[in-house]
Amino acid sequence: MADKRIRVEQHGGLGLLWIAGWLFTIGYLDLSFWRGVLAIVLWPYFLGADLAAPVPLPG
């Protein structure tokens, strides 16, 4: 029993990066509650759709 070792695995911070992107998307796009819930999975789509939208030229 004394030879048993505990193995600790450290995972990367990819989950934290995903949550940061999700929270940024909710704030940047001013999403409603249910769109924010949907953005948990689709936040890259929401950002891409907003940033790819044509910007009207002044004048």
Number of separate domains in the chain:
1
3 in a domain, yes or no?
no
Residue 56: pLDDT band (50, 70, 90) is confident
**Is pTM, for the whole model, over 0.75?**
no
Average pLDDT (14-25) is 87
In SS3 terms, the chain reads as CCCCCCCCCCCCCHHHHHHHHHHHHHHHHCCCHHHHHHHHHHHHHHHHHHHCCCCCCCC
15 in a domain, yes or no?
no
Domain containing 34 equals: 20-50
Average pLDDT (34-46) is 87
